[in-house]
């Protein structure tokens, strides 16, 4: 009996990781918009803070697909904290008055509890990223 061979398309690992991270970034933005639409006040604000760091983590993975989960989470947390601490200078507030994009990316007003919620987002992103890496087949490089 003759066996049929199916053609297998091999997607390079880095391309698959980048595509997954990009999808995660899109889902994260949608989640942030959804939280803002469904909830208000502190729930929306602090969920947004955590999701901001998750988004940064996903973007780090898009740029550096072989990055380790802890390194990506640390970079995302450091970036988030740097943006928050920059708000103490007033520069982000000035930029936010001139640009909606700057307001969304940089914020405008320092809020110490945000630092904690960025940590929550980094921990969540690290856990998901670690879980995805652990679930990958050992036969694949």
3-state SS track over the chain: CCCCCCCCCCCCHHHHHHHHHHHHHHHHHHHHHHHHHHCCHHHHHHHHHHHHHHHHHHHHHHHCCCCCHHHHHHHHHHHHHHHHHHHHHCHHHHHHHHCHHHHHHHCCCCCCHHHHHHHHHHHHHHHHHHHHHHCCCCCCC
Q: Look up the pTM and report it.
A: 0.84
Q: What is the pLDDT of residues 30-59, one digit of tens each?
A: 999 999 899 888 898 999 999 999 999 999
The average pLDDT across 11-19 equals: 88
Residue 102 has pLDDT above 50, yes or no: yes
Band the pLDDT of 66: cuts 50, 70, 90. very high
């Amino acid at each position: 009996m003759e066996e049929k061979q199916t053609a297998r398309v091999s997607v390079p690992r880095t391309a698959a990781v980048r595509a997954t991270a990009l999808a995660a970034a899109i889902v994260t933005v949608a989640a942030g918009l959804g939280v803002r639409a469904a909830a208000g006040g502190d729930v929306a604000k602090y969920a947004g803070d955590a999701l901001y760091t998750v988004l940064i983590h996903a973007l780090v993975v898009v740029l550096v697909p072989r990055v380790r989960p802890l390194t990506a989470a640390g970079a995302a947390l450091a970036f988030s904290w740097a943006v928050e601490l920059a708000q103490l200078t007033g520069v982000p507030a000035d930029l936010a008055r001139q640009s909606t994009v700057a307001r969304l990316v940089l914020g405008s007003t320092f809020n110490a509890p945000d630092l904690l919620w960025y940590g929550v987002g980094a921990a969540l992103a690290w856990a998901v990223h670690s879980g995805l890496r652990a679930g990958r087949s050992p036969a694949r490089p």
